[in-house]
């Protein structure tokens, strides 16, 4: 189908579906065979133009007639978000840390300051303005009082925080914490709450007990497919890339609505009616839950900001490896992995998304990455198609999403090709790989993904590795698989690994080595000897 200069390919095997994919002014919409028009996930895309940096980004998403529009700065960071006539404007420093937000939704302007290590020092609120600041209305100070570990938050807004020897909080003035297996959160108590957690051998949470009420999680890898607390039963549906599409709460299906950043901003029912809406601040703190089912479905749905699992009893987000405190804008405890070469802020073991929560996400709790706007567009289209499939109960609805995204968005292949991820290809039976070009637009290096034998591996072109995507100990794929990868794709895994090891020695020169020496210092204390091997091999 060719409309308005775009090519949309689709195929449907139905008898009464009446699927439509008109493209008018960048709009994708649909109507079921029963005449029910679904607008909850209608999407608008910027048309091709001279601005190659913006031509592959979402311009406007339409949610039940309420538009969310985005603009971007020269570095590809979201500069403005406009919804219901209210705009949030973001300002960034040279490190892409957000330094100011003029937030008409919250009716305030907020200014953030940081130290050289990437620690938030102050969060100062003002009356909303896009111009010159007036008198501050509220100031939140962050204290870092440990001279031996300068990234450790020791006070927040006047409340002191104590830690154990490896950077796990013991008391933050509201809750007391206990830990096991190093950095695994075991219990939280305080404020009339008693909470405990259990995990499997891979470190993924399998159970939560809150004041005697037990919730058990049934997993497929690190994904929760079913959970029950004795009263509610929830089943989850995921797409082929492992992202949530819907939840079935006690027999009733609800579908997730996301914005371009991956936040779950609401749910709608099988009739296409939005029943829940969520509002967050820039760092993911839940501001409001509204809608006709806000007090039931809105509360019982555990997936919120960036699609992370939200623990309402504590306000913490569970990100598999760690827990994130959106009020602080930091992880509550130290990361077990140290950052990558050339990014000193990533060596801060508590920092969340390199202080760029507007554009980045960290679903693993170990490795932040820039939110992929192309992926967000795919999710909107995928969910839209799946909803139509479920509502009309037809056998098959197939949309070539990759084609839709790459052509509707109008990617200039000579400039923007690196932003589009490749598809998985077969290496041999049971093994597949994908090579992504990376580039400035994605803030990622060229890299390869390998899957097989129930395991996933990843390697950057300089030999760098992402911990969550690699089995424990960061091993390499089997020798035969590495040889096939080199033969078919020209990807020399072993040479890249050697390059990585050499970079550890030479990167950054003497200054960098001194820096690493300082970072290693805490490991030299007897209680932290067990961390020496990991820190020694980390960049």
What is the mean pLDDT, run by run of 10 residues, along the chain of 539 residues? Answer: 29 28 33 35 30 54 74 91 95 95 98 95 98 98 94 97 96 98 96 97 96 97 95 92 90 92 92 93 98 98 98 97 97 70 57 94 85 50 41 27 28 29 74 75 70 85 71 74 89 83 47 46 48 50
The H or E element containing residue 322 is none
What's the rounded Cα separation, in Å, for the pair 447 and 436?
5
Do 44 and 27 form a contact (C-beta atoms < 8 A)? yes
The H or E element containing residue 248 is strand 244-249
Do 291 and 264 form a contact (C-beta atoms < 8 A)? no
The β-bridge relationship of strands 223-228 and 213-220 is: antiparallel
Q: Which residues pair with 3 in a beta bridge?
A: 6
Q: Tell me which residue of 275, 235, 244 sits closest to 40, measured CA to CA.
A: 275
What does the pLDDT read at residue 395?
23
Q: What is the dihedral of CA 103, 109, 111, 112, to 10 degrees?
A: -40
pTM strictly above 0.75: no
What's the rounded Cα separation, in Å, for the pair 202 and 223?
12
What does the pLDDT read at residue 63?
62
Could you tell me where the beta strands, DSSP code E, fall in 437-510?
Answer: 447-452, 455-460
What's the rounded Cα separation, in Å, for the pair 486 and 272?
49
Could you tell me where the beta strands, DSSP code E, fall in 314-401?
Answer: 316-318, 323-325, 330-331, 360-361, 369-370, 396-399
């Amino acid at each position: 189908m060719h409309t308005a200069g775009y090519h949309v390919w689709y195929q449907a095997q139905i008898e009464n579906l009446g699927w439509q994919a008109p493209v008018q002014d960048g709009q994708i919409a649909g109507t079921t065979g029963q005449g029910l028009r679904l607008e909850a996930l209608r999407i608008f895309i910027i048309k091709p133009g001279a601005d190659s940096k913006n031509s592959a980004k979402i311009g406007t998403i339409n949610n039940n007639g309420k538009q969310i529009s985005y603009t971007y700065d020269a570095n590809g960071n979201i500069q403005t978000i406009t919804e219901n006539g209210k705009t949030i404007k973001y300002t960034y420093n040279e490190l892409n840390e957000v330094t100011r937000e003029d937030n008409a939704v919250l009716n305030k302007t907020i200014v953030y300051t940081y130290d050289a290590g990437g620690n938030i020092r102050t969060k100062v609120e003002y009356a909303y303005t896009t111009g010159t600041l007036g008198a501050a209305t509220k100031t939140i100070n962050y204290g870092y009082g440990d001279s031996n570990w300068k990234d450790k938050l020791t006070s927040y807004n006047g409340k002191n925080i104590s830690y154990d020897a490896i950077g796990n909080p013991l008391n933050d003035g509201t809750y007391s914490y206990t830990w096991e297996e190093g950095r695994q959160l075991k219990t939280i108590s305080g404020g009339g709450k008693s909470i405990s957690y259990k995990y499997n051998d891979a470190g993924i949470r399998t159970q939560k007990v809150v004041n005697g009420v037990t919730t058990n999680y049934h997993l497929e890898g690190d994904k929760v497919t079913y959970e029950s607390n004795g009263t509610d039963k929830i089943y989850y549906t995921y797409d082929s890339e492992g992202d949530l599409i819907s939840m079935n709460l006690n027999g009733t299906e609800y579908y997730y609505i996301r914005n371009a950043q991956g936040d779950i901003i609401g749910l709608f029912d099988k009739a296409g009616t939005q029943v829940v809406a969520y509002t967050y601040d820039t760092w993911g703190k839940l501001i409001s839950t509204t809608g006709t089912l806000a007090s039931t479905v809105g509360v019982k749905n555990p997936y919120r900001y960036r699609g992370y699992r939200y623990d309402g009893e504590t306000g913490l987000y569970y990100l598999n490896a760690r827990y994130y405190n959106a009020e602080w804008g930091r992880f509550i405890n130290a990361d077990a992995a140290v950052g990558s070469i050339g990014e000193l802020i990533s060596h801060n073991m508590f920092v969340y998304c390199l202080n760029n929560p507007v554009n980045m996400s960290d679903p693993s709790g170990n490795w932040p990455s820039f939110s992929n706007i192309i992926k967000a567009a795919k999710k909107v289209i995928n969910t839209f198609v799946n909803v139509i499939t479920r509502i009309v109960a037809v056998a098959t609805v197939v949309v070539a999403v990759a084609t839709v995204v790459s052509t509707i968005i109008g990617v200039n292949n000579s400039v923007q090709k690196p932003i589009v991820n490749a598809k998985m290809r077969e290496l041999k039976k049971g093994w597949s790989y994908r090579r992504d070009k990376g580039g400035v637009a994605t803030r990622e290096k060229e890299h390869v993904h390998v899957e097989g034998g129930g395991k996933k591996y990843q390697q950057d072109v300089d030999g760098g590795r992402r911990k969550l995507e690699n089995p424990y100990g960061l091993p390499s794929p089997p020798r035969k698989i590495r040889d096939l990868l080199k033969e078919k794709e020209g990807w020399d895994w072993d040479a890249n690994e050697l390059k990585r090891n050499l970079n550890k020695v030479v990167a950054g020169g003497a200054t960098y080595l001194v820096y690493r020496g300082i970072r290693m210092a805490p490991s030299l204390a007897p209680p932290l000897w067990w961390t020496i091997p990991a820190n020694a091999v980390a960049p």
